[in-house]
Amino acid sequence: MWKADIDMPKDAVVLFSTKEGEALVRKHCRAAGIRIADLRELVEIEADQVGRQRKAGLWDQFDEIIDRMSEDAA
C-alpha cells in the first residue's frame, strides 16, 4: 500500500521501463498524434498522486498539458 508521503518511482509504469514497452508506447502515441513526452508527463503526475486522499490540483495539471498539446497541434 502506498503512503501519501512516498512518491511512486517514475518507472513503476512498466511500459516505460523496458525497451519493448517504450517502443509500444511510441507506436501508439505516433498513431494517436500524441507526443510521448506529454504522455509520460501525464502518467508521472498521476503516479505522484497514488495513495493520496486528496488529489488537489491534478486536473489543473492535466489541463495545462492538454492545452499545450492542443496549441502544438494548431
39 within some domain: yes
65 within some domain: yes
Q: In terms of pLDDT, which residue wins out, 73 or 38?
A: 38
Closest Cα partner for 39 from 30, 29, 31, 49? Answer: 29
Let me know: does 42 contact 36? Beta carbons within 8 Å. Answer: no
Let me know: does 46 contact 58? Beta carbons within 8 Å. Answer: yes
2 within some domain: no
39: number of Cβ within 10 Å: 19
**Over 70: is that where the pLDDT of 54 sits?**
no
Per residue in 12-45, pLDDT (tens digit) is 577 788 888 889 889 998 998 888 888 888 888 8
Q: Report the number of distinct structural domains present in the chain.
A: 1
For 41-66, what is the mean pLDDT? Answer: 77
33 within some domain: yes
1 within some domain: no
3 within some domain: no
The domain in which residue 37 lies consists of 10-73
Q: In terms of pLDDT, which residue wins out, 65 or 58?
A: 65
